[in-house]
């Protein structure tokens, strides 16, 4: 807020803080603004920043082998991060429930991090549309994997 007194402009800042279901109001001079900004930056405005991360969504994805050009296409109703961790867990535990794990174990190929080998192809919820996108990408990938 700005207040003009005798042709001088004094800067004030207003602070409202909620504690124990009570609102506290504070008015601070400009000198205290830097302190307030630093204090407010400690508390993010949104706790939903994960929604902006594409790996926290679901849909159709592609995993590129870390050691060869082979690609795997799949879909998940869970987040891409969760599904990727399931593939990695299968590799580490010698599980055969995942085609990605089967390939890695059969060929002794390794794996890498999500951002390096997982590509999000389509974002959506489980259902017929997701099935169609998955089939399309499997078809396209199978032509390349031959």
Domain boundaries, the chain: 2-43, 52-145
C-beta neighbour count of 104 within 10 angstroms:
21
For 108-139, write each residue's pLDDT tens digit.
998 889 889 999 999 999 889 899 999 999 98
Is the CATH number of domain 52-145 3.40.1440.10?
yes
7-44: per-residue pLDDT in tens? 444 455 556 666 666 666 665 555 544 555 555 555 55
Beta strands in the chain (DSSP E): 2-5, 8-19, 22-29, 59-64, 71-76, 118-123
pLDDT at 73 over 70: yes
pTM assigned to the model: 0.63
């Amino acid at each position: 807020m700005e207040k003009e007194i005798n042709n001088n402009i004094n800067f004030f800042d207003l602070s409202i803080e909620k504690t124990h279901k009570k609102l506290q109001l504070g008015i601070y001079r400009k000198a205290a603004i830097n302190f307030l900004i630093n204090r407010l930056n400690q508390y993010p405005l949104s706790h939903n920043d994960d929604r902006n991360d594409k790996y926290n969504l679901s849909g159709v994805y592609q995993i590129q082998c870390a050691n060869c050009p082979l690609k795997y296409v799949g879909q998940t109703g869970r987040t891409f991060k969760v599904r990727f961790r399931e593939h990695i867990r299968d590799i580490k535990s010698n599980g055969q429930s995942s085609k990605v794990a089967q390939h890695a174990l059969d060929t002794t190929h390794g794996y890498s991090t999500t951002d390096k080998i997982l590509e999000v192809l389509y974002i959506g919820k489980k259902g017929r549309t997701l099935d169609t996108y998955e089939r399309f990408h499997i078809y396209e990938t199978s032509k390349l994997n031959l």
